[in-house]
Amino acid sequence: MFNAEKVKNECVEWIRDFFEQNGKGCNAVVGISGGKDSSIAAALCVEALGKDRVIGVLMPQGEQHDIDMAYMLVNHLGIKHYVVNVKDAVDGILKSLPSELEVTAQTVQNIPPRIRMSTLYAVSQSVNGRVCNTCNLSEDWVGYSTRYGDSVGDFSPMSNLTVTEVKEIGHLLGVPEELVEKTPIDGLCGKTDEENLGFTYAELDRYIRTGEIEDLAKKELIDRKHKANLFKLELMPSFKPQK
């Protein structure tokens, strides 16, 4: 059975150890979307390092309908934050692509998270920071992230925790209920995560932890996504000349 208190405390110590070894005195830089993952990751960093060493970065693309949730989080935690609107950067890339290039919907959807990660590193390198990855195990399992976008960072406190487990920890940390239980939306095409995936996080988390799932079609879908997206979690393949 998952012991949220124990795991939360271990995660907080792990973050402290990371900074002791990889950036003593550095700040944690967290992209704040207003969703549960960035909210809980930021709260973990605050408990580990104190609010004065955690910096939030809000990165709307033009108008963000739920930006109030991101402000709620930074105000709740009392952390310093910056707002960087990425619309001009995203539009600039799209406008600069060759006119003969057939730009796919996936291309359009994945440019913003990659721009946001560039923005996080621009802030991080300007404030003596380390970028916090906010992915969880459930999303990573089925490749629900953008490679070189939200899939990366300098340290990852939640990538071995399922959505269900992350939410339990969020409640323990006192993160506002509306943030922990907010329906996750990908922020790219306007659909909920579960609509995009074809199964619920509850079904996925149970399958990850126990191997149990009743719907064989969903099992096949999860397995297919997991296999197809393993490359996102691995180092880039590199050629090694034979001796």
pLDDT in tens, 120-139: 999 999 999 999 999 999 99
CATH number of the structural domain spanning residue 40: 3.40.50.620
DSSP 192: B
Q: The tokens 């064989």 sit on which residue? A: 216
pLDDT in tens, 145-198: 999 999 999 999 999 999 999 999 999 999 999 999 998 775 555 678 888 899
pLDDT in tens, 61-101: 999 999 999 999 999 999 999 999 999 999 999 999 999 99
The CB density around residue 229, as the number of other CB atoms within 10 Å, is 18
* 205 belongs to a structural domain: no
At 222, the pLDDT band (50, 70, 90 cuts) reads: very high
Q: Which phi-psi region, left, alpha or beta, contains residue 190 (left: φ > 0; alpha: ψ -120 to 50)?
A: left
* 241 belongs to a structural domain: no
* 243 belongs to a structural domain: no
| Burial environment of residue 65 by CB neighbours within 10 A (0 to 12, 13 to 18, 19 or more) | exposed
* 196 belongs to a structural domain: no
Enclosing domain of residue 20: 4-184
* 230 belongs to a structural domain: no
pLDDT at 116: 98
* 175 belongs to a structural domain: yes
Q: What's the chain's average pLDDT?
A: 95
At 238, the pLDDT band (50, 70, 90 cuts) reads: very high
4-22 vs 163-172: helix crossing angle, rounded to 10? 90
pTM of the model: 0.93
In the chain, the number of structural domains is 1
Q: Is the dihedral of CA 209, 156, 143, 108 positive or negative?
A: positive
* 107 belongs to a structural domain: yes
Residue type, 232: K
Contact (Cβ atoms closer than 8 angstroms) between residue 27 and residue 154? no
Tokens of 17: 């150890």
Residue 217: HSE in the Cβ half-sphere, 13 Å Cα cutoff: 3
* 235 belongs to a structural domain: no
